[in-house]
Amino acid sequence: MRRMRTQVGIVGAGPAGLALANVLAGAGVDCLVVERGSRERVEARQRAGLLEHRTVRWLREQGLADGLLAGATRHGWCDFRCLGHTVRVDYGACSGGREHWVYPQQRLVSDLIGTLEKAGCPPLFSHTVRAVTDIASRRPRLKCEGMEIECDYVVGCDGFRGVSRAALPATGHRVHNRRYPYDWLTVLAEVDRPAEGVVYAVHRDGFAGMMPRGRNVSRFYLQCPPGDSPAAWPASRIVRELRGRLTDGSAEPLPTIGALPEVRMLRMHSSLTEPLRHGRLLLAGDAAHVLTPSGAKGMNLAIADAAHLATALVNRVRHGDGRALAAYSAERLADARRVLGFSEWLLRLLHLPAGPDAGSPRAELTDRLATIRRLAEPGPESAAFAHRYVGSGAEDGFDDPPG
């Protein structure tokens, strides 16, 4: 049995674990990221793409944004399509010039692995943590095949199905799960021209969305009945439905869609675990809260958790000041709840209700079009939407100028 020791053991090399490890390593805190996947696999996993204003601000402050500042494109508007109208919401203008940065998650992950390597603290790839133990003691442990790592603190950044959540005591924590009455087919598609901005279609056949991801790739979403299977969606049906829902009444044709390298069904659910700290185990990112892709918030929340934890652990480990660590769970849960509230509000705008209480589709769509138009007109409603959507930081009481 190989035995190792570190101050902060981090399970999972996603955006949360890697961002945290970079700051800890830079501040002289000994840490080790343990990741079950190979480096190639982790760097190839395509998921998120929209980075909020506050996320980029923090990455910049930490010196972790060189790749994205050089390679990202910026977006400050989105289009809503409904009842044959296209309504452009200029959330950049409504939030005082703040914008999203479009940078694929796998490129950010790859950048963060590179900087960690340069700091002499490379993640331990292809090692699965089988159990997190002794979390109530001063020396929690990560147990892997043939290896045990003794830590001062363990941070579980291993996603919703990770082993860290499994280490929580049976009593003393609560998990709030919500299942939505639809699923989303998610498609990565090769396109002949980049999406210039996010497009949301509210349609009687169901929601459809188009998200920019780069020059030749876009991500698309299609609302499906809950429990639907990707097998029911051959390429011809996907393209037909995207065209029907996204171009309805629009002068703007869809890009030509080529190969579909990824077609998956997303079970639409959200989950929040509380508290986020149990003894010396802390949860961050998707291990702590899972949101649907609505509003593009998951990776941003994961990095915001890492930002808080980085300061808190440096203060605790280097300076013996545990105040920020003590505040971690309550402060991050409050932010996660606020973001979840926004994400659910957007889901309600984008989907028509089903069932006996639903109004006529035409009446529902007319209501939605009126709401969407208010988001496009200057005023408090559009400003609140803009700040929440772009993650300006102003909504949590910190109003910094656009950068």
Ligand X SMILES: Cc1cc2nc3c(=O)[nH]c(=O)nc-3n(C[C@H](O)[C@H](O)[C@H](O)COP(=O)(O)OP(=O)(O)OC[C@H]3O[C@@H](n4cnc5c(N)ncnc54)[C@H](O)[C@@H]3O)c2cc1C
**What is the closest distance, in whole angstroms, from the C-beta atom of residue 110 to ligand X in the complex?**
12
Query: Coil, strand or helix: which one is 226?
Result: coil
Strand partners, 219: 188, 211
Neighbours of 54 (CB within 10 A): 22
Residue 3 or 323: the one with the smaller Cβ distance to ligand X is: 3
Take residue 91 and report the two structure tokens written for it.
Answer: 């959330």
Pairing type for strands 217-224 and 2-11 reads unpaired
Residue 141 or 248: the one with the smaller Cβ distance to ligand X is: 141
Written as one letter, the residue type at 304 is: A
Residue 49 or 92: the one with the smaller Cβ distance to ligand X is: 49
Measured CA to CA in angstroms, residue 398 lies from 295, 317, 326, 340, 395 at distances of 20, 27, 21, 19, 7
**What is the closest distance, in whole angstroms, from the C-beta atom of residue 320 to ligand X in the complex?**
28
**What is the closest distance, in whole angstroms, from the C-beta atom of residue 334 to ligand X in the complex?**
18
Pairing type for strands 281-283 and 147-156 reads parallel
Residue 92 or 391: the one with the smaller Cβ distance to ligand X is: 391
Residue 12 or 206: the one with the smaller Cβ distance to ligand X is: 12
**What is the closest distance, in whole angstroms, from the C-beta atom of residue 285 to ligand X in the complex?**
2
Q: 143 with 131: CB under 8 angstroms?
A: yes
Pairing type for strands 2-11 and 31-34 reads parallel
Residue 92 or 285: the one with the smaller Cβ distance to ligand X is: 285
Residue 290 or 365: the one with the smaller Cβ distance to ligand X is: 290
Query: Coil, strand or helix: which one is 294?
Result: coil
Residue 157 or 210: the one with the smaller Cβ distance to ligand X is: 157
DSSP annotation string for 64-131: --HHHHHH-EEE--EEEEETTEEEEE-HHHHTTS--EEE--HHHHHHHHHHHHHHTT---BTT--EEE
Q: 11 with 157: CB under 8 angstroms?
A: yes
Strand partners, 200: 80, 209
Residue 102 or 375: the one with the smaller Cβ distance to ligand X is: 102
**What is the closest distance, in whole angstroms, from the C-beta atom of residue 11 to ligand X in the complex?**
5
- Compute the C-alpha angle 51/56/61, nearest 5°: 160
**What is the closest distance, in whole angstroms, from the C-beta atom of residue 211 to ligand X in the complex?**
6
Residues in the site for ligand X, rule: CB under 6 A? 11-17, 34-37, 42, 47-50, 105, 128-129, 157-159, 162-163, 186, 285-286, 293, 296-300, 302
Take residue 342 and report the two structure tokens written for it.
Answer: 């926004």
**What is the closest distance, in whole angstroms, from the C-beta atom of residue 31 to ligand X in the complex?**
15
Q: Give the C-alpha separation, 336 to 283, whole Å.
A: 13
**What is the closest distance, in whole angstroms, from the C-beta atom of residue 36 to ligand X in the complex?**
4
**What is the closest distance, in whole angstroms, from the C-beta atom of residue 48 to ligand X in the complex?**
3
